[in-house]
A and B are shown apart, each in its own frame.
Chain A
Amino acid sequence: MNEKSPPPSPDDLDTRLRTAQAKQSELKDGTGRVSRTSGLGFALRIGTELVAGVAVGTGIGLLLDSWLDTGPLFMILLFFLGAGAGMLNVYRTVSRIGHAVGYEKKNEDETSDTER
């Protein structure tokens, strides 16, 4: 509540709104935008990705083995694939090319307004 400023006219408000919006979208595009909280949240995210990848791969492998009765074949196979998937997830999160599974880089310009 600043006494100095006169009541803003609609025009004034419009320009201010536009500057604010421009600033915000500009911030969104920049890479150094992340505030401290979301930076810490970002860091906490990636640790479990590795574990989860291996766990899911091995789990699905064990299920397939007990269902198809194929010894440790699928477990071993999916263990490595799961580890790969975990690393891929970490890479995708960290490199910020997108968190999406199957993200396509060529569409980056179109989607940049929705990506963080």
Chain B
Amino acid sequence: MAVESEGAGHSPLAQFEIKPLIPFRVGEFDLSFTNSALFMVIAVVLATGFLMLGTRRGALVPGRWQSVAELSYEFIANMIRDNVGQEGRKYFPFIFTLFMFVFFGNMLGMMPYSFTYTSHIIVTFGMAAAVFVGVTVIGFMKHGIRFLGFLLPSGIPIYMAPLIIPIEILSYFTRPVSLALRLFANMTAGHTMLKVFASFVLPMGSAFFIVGGVIPFALIAALTGLELIIAFLQAYVFTILTCVYLNDALHMH
């Protein structure tokens, strides 16, 4: 695979390959600094730099950078207010960080020659599991054992309980999986599709004179636009679902 990825006709999946940049092993664990880790560091540095630059002056009439920084702040703050309410305000740092990390990861992935770390299910599942465990802990801290009451919605006849309780438990455990799967699948599918269409340009161009190559090339342009929307939208969906789950844990009924 590593050899192939250098060649001209390489696989559309070669872009997801993890390559260790600084090999490092502890016992049997491979803790190498990989290209994935590199892009996570870049995303964190970029996000931090962007916000530090934006909030450096704190002018009353914001400049360009400050507007964008304030826009992103307000975007998440409104999302939390609409979905969680006032109690959600103290979770703003976590949710904002999550959004920024996913968003920058998706957007960095749109750059040529970059690596999309959100296209790896272990990364997205790691974040989803953190959200899931955190929300569950918050729910238990706030409601105690009563939090288990969500397993049986009221108004359901008791003889339905043996069916409803397993379904509700499964439905609850579905959350981190669907959260992780959605982001991973969208990013992987999108990037694979771009590569597949890109690999059509040269063969079609040489088969039908130059004109044949124009069609897949135009499609790539359109798909890149679509992927940019998806990149934002998936970060948005990931964040809003975190808010929704947090709301469920805080406002148990």
| A84, B169: Cα distance in complex, Å | 11
Contact B83 A111 (CB under 8 A): no
Is B195 at the interface (CB under 8 A from chain A)?
no
Contact B233 A37 (CB under 8 A): yes
Task: Specify which chain A residues have a CB less than 8 angstroms from the CB of B150 in the assembled complex.
Answer: 100-102
| A16, B124: Cα distance in complex, Å | 43
Interface string of B227-253 (1 = CB under 8 A from A): 001000110110011001101100101
Task: Specify which chain B residues have a CB less than 8 angstroms from the CB of A104 in the assembled complex.
Answer: 153-155, 253
Contact A41 B166 (CB under 8 A): no
Contact B251 A60 (CB under 8 A): no
Main SS of the interface on chain B? Answer: helix
Is B77 at the interface (CB under 8 A from chain A)?
no
Chain B, Cβ-Cβ closest to A40:
B233
Is B149 at the interface (CB under 8 A from chain A)?
yes
Task: Specify which chain A residues have a CB less than 8 angstroms from the CB of B82 in the assembled complex.
Answer: 28, 116
Contact B170 A48 (CB under 8 A): no
| A38, B236: Cα distance in complex, Å | 8
Contact B155 A101 (CB under 8 A): no
Chain A, Cβ-Cβ closest to B180:
A52
For chain A, residues 72 to 116, give those with C-beta under 8 angstroms from any C-beta of chain B. Answer: 78, 81-82, 84-86, 88-89, 99-107, 110-111, 113-116
Question: What class of interface size applies to chain A in its complex with B?
Answer: 35 or more
Question: What class of interface size applies to chain B in its complex with A?
Answer: 35 or more
Contact B185 A48 (CB under 8 A): yes
Task: Specify which chain A residues have a CB less than 8 angstroms from the CB of B110 in the assembled complex.
Answer: none
Contact B237 A44 (CB under 8 A): yes
Contact B178 A103 (CB under 8 A): no
Most buried by B among A28, A37, A82, A100: A100
Task: Specify which chain A residues have a CB less than 8 angstroms from the CB of B181 in the assembled complex.
Answer: 48, 51-52, 55
| A101, B236: Cα distance in complex, Å | 21
A48 touching B253 in the complex, CB below 8 Å, given contacts A100-B248, A101-B248, A102-B153: no
Task: Specify which chain B residues have a CB less than 8 angstroms from the CB of A55 in the assembled complex.
Answer: 177, 181
Is A45 at the interface (CB under 8 A from chain B)?
yes
Contact A53 B170 (CB under 8 A): yes
**A residues touching B (Cβ–Cβ < 8 Å)?**
28, 37-38, 40-41, 44-45, 47-49, 51-53, 55-57, 60, 78, 81-82, 84-86, 88-89, 99-107, 110-111, 113-116
The 3 closest A-B pairs by CB, nearest first: A102-B150, A52-B178, A85-B170
- Beyond A45-B182, A89-B171, A114-B84, 17 additional contacts (C-beta under 8 Å) are A37-B233, A40-B229, A41-B237, A48-B185, A52-B174, A53-B174, A60-B173, A78-B170, A81-B166, A82-B170, A82-B174, A99-B248, A100-B150, A101-B168, A102-B153, A102-B168, A110-B253
**B residues touching A (Cβ–Cβ < 8 Å)?**
82-85, 149-155, 166-168, 170-174, 177-178, 181-182, 185-186, 229, 233-234, 236-237, 240-241, 244-245, 247-248, 251, 253
Q: Can you offer 23 A-B residue contacts whose CB atoms are under 8 A?
A: A37-B236, A41-B236, A44-B234, A45-B182, A47-B182, A48-B178, A49-B178, A52-B174, A57-B170, A78-B170, A81-B167, A82-B170, A85-B168, A88-B171, A89-B171, A100-B253, A101-B248, A102-B150, A103-B253, A104-B154, A105-B155, A114-B83, A115-B247
